[in-house]
């Protein structure tokens, strides 16, 4: 399946000279997946809500100062490859081109809606993220923003005094509060308003009650609920306790599952691939395969490597954080590390991963079922 019938010509567009404050208002009012930026009528890039949360750029700055490149796709591209492009680019939409001209956009929602009927072969337990980060009700908004930035995520479950689930806070919640309060304040008071918002307890801005999904639920049902309610993710709970947080299922998890392959080499997905310097995708795949090959009982079904750049630099080389997550027949294994340059950070994370592999426990996966799943996904 290609994206010719999925892409849309309806999208939010702003000129590169528009004030960033106006762009923030658009996100608060319309909650788009991203905004296309044009300069003199030509495509210049995109602005995402994630960028706004991570940025310290003033509202008076122009939109062009926040514009980032997004992976371009063609109307004839395969939906599986486009899903990979969105995940690896860390974006929710991609500009679609035809004959060298901007034709429209394709979003993660467009793809998920198109493949929804094929997701009944998956259960939440197959693809959800186990290593979930949580915060308490008295955590302030400033700390939440830092966690979202550090881990490159869009939402955090909120726990009460008994460690039970009481709410969810998202990037959009924070942008909503900041924009609303900034609009009320005069220009001279805005700096103080920002500080006040950052000091608020997350309890004051979180959503409650929280939509949850159980481990045994089908991914088709979970995605249907996400699309119907415009949720980017659902908290995962065990069958018998809706307040016990065991993980999270996001639209990105589902897109990532669409990229699983039956190829001879390991399927490795890299987020923020542009940060690679002295190491290549092939090097990363080969090194992870070496680790996996040491443990014959462990079969790696998918590997995800995420890079994040910090502001700190050493002789011009940025400090990079690397996170590696393996999905195996024995469960999930992960490792993370930091270093100057992507190659160094990856090696530190790989060492940590190998130590953590030794702690893996779990039940052998049903390979026949997994084969059926992969074949079904291959029909897309």
Answer whether 230's CB lies under 8 Å from 251's CB: no
Q: CATH no. for residue 164?
A: 3.10.580.10
In a domain, 48, yes or no: yes
pLDDT tens digits along 341-372: 999 999 999 999 988 887 764 433 344 444 55
Query: Is the domain of 198 the same as that of 129?
Result: yes
Res. 145: pLDDT tops 70: yes
pLDDT number for residue 111: 93
Res. 217: pLDDT tops 50: yes
In a domain, 5, yes or no: no
Res. 378: pLDDT tops 60: no
pLDDT number for residue 89: 77
d(C-alpha 126, C-alpha 182), whole Å: 42
pLDDT tens digits along 268-284: 888 888 888 888 888 99
pLDDT tens digits along 303-343: 889 998 888 999 899 999 999 988 877 777 889 999 999 99
Res. 188: pLDDT tops 70: no
Residue with more model confidence, 55 or 221:
221
pLDDT number for residue 366: 41
Query: Is the domain of 311 the same as that of 216?
Result: no
Query: Is the domain of 95 the same as that of 139?
Result: no
The pLDDT-based confidence of 251 (bands split at 50, 70, 90) is very high
Res. 260: pLDDT tops 80: no
Q: What is the mean pLDDT of the chain?
A: 82
Q: How many CA atoms lie within 13 A of 106 on its CB side?
A: 29
Query: Is the domain of 223 the same as that of 282?
Result: no
Answer whether 14's CB lies under 8 Å from 34's CB: no
Beta-bridge partners for 237: 214
**pTM exceeding 0.75:** no
pLDDT number for residue 261: 54
Query: Is the domain of 134 the same as that of 224?
Result: yes
Q: Within its chain, how far is the Cα of 359 from the centroid?
A: 27
Answer whether 158's CB lies under 8 Å from 136's CB: yes
The pLDDT-based confidence of 192 (bands split at 50, 70, 90) is low
pLDDT tens digits along 7-23: 888 888 899 999 888 88
Res. 375: pLDDT tops 60: no
Listed residue (90, 94, 95, 113) closest to 1, CA to CA = 113
Query: Is the domain of 234 the same as that of 314?
Result: no
pLDDT number for residue 214: 94
Q: CA-CA distances (angstroms) from residue 12 to 17, 26, 42, 277?
A: 15, 9, 14, 34
Q: Which residues contact 209 (CB under 8 A, 6 or more apart)?
A: 167
Q: CATH no. for residue 307?
A: 3.30.160.100
Query: Is the domain of 271 the same as that of 191?
Result: no
pLDDT number for residue 365: 35
Last residue of a domain, one of 254, 289, 312: 254
pLDDT number for residue 138: 93
In a domain, 8, yes or no: no
Burial class (CB in 10 A: 0-12, 13-18, 19+), 211: middle
Q: How many domains does the chain have?
A: 3
In a domain, 333, yes or no: yes
> Could you list the residue range(s) of the whole structural domain that residue 321 is in?
260-378
């Amino acid at each position: 399946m290609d994206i010719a019938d999925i892409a849309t010509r309806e999208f939010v567009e702003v000129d590169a000279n528009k004030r960033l404050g106006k762009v923030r208002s658009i996100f608060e009012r319309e909650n788009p997946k991203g905004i296309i930026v044009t300069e003199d009528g030509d495509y210049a890039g995109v602005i995402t809500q994630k960028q706004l949360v991570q940025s310290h750029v003033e509202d008076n700055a122009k939109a062009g100062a926040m514009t980032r490149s997004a992976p371009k796709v063609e109307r004839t591209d395969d939906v599986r490859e486009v899903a990979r492009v969105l995940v690896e680019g860390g974006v929710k939409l991609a500009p679609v081109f035809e004959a060298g001209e901007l034709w429209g956009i394709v979003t993660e929602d467009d793809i998920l809606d198109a493949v929804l009927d094929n997701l009944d072969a998956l259960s939440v337990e197959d693809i959800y993220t186990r290593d979930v980060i949580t915060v308490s009700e008295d955590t302030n908004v400033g700390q939440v923003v830092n966690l979202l930035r550090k881990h490159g995520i869009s939402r955090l479950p909120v726990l009460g005094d008994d460690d039970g689930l009481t709410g969810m806070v998202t990037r959009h919640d924070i942008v909503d509060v900041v924009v609303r309060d900034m609009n009320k304040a005069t220009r001279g008071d805005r700096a103080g308003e920002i500080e006040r918002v950052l000091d608020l307890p997350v309890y004051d801005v979180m959503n409650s009650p929280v939509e949850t999904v159980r481990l045994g639920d089908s991914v088709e049902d979970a995605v249907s609920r996400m699309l119907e309610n415009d949720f980017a993710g659902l908290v995962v709970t065990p069958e018998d306790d809706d307040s016990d947080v065991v993980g999270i299922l996001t639209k990105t998890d589902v897109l990532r599952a669409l990229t699983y392959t039956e190829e001879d080499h390991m399927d490795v997905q890299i987020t923020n691939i542009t940060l690679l310097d002295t190491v290549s995708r092939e090097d990363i795949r080969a090194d992870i395969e070496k680790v996996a090959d040491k443990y014959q009982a462990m079969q790696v079904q998918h590997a995800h490597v995420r890079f994040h750049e910090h502001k700190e630099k050493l002789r011009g080389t940025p400090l990079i954080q690397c996170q590696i997550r393996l999905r195996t027949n024995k469960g999930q294994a992960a490792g993370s590390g930091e270093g100057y340059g992507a190659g160094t950070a990856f090696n530190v994370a790989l060492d940590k991963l190998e130590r953590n592999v030794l702690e893996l426990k779990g039940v052998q996966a049903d390979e026949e079922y997994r084969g059926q799943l992969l074949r079904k996904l291959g029909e897309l």
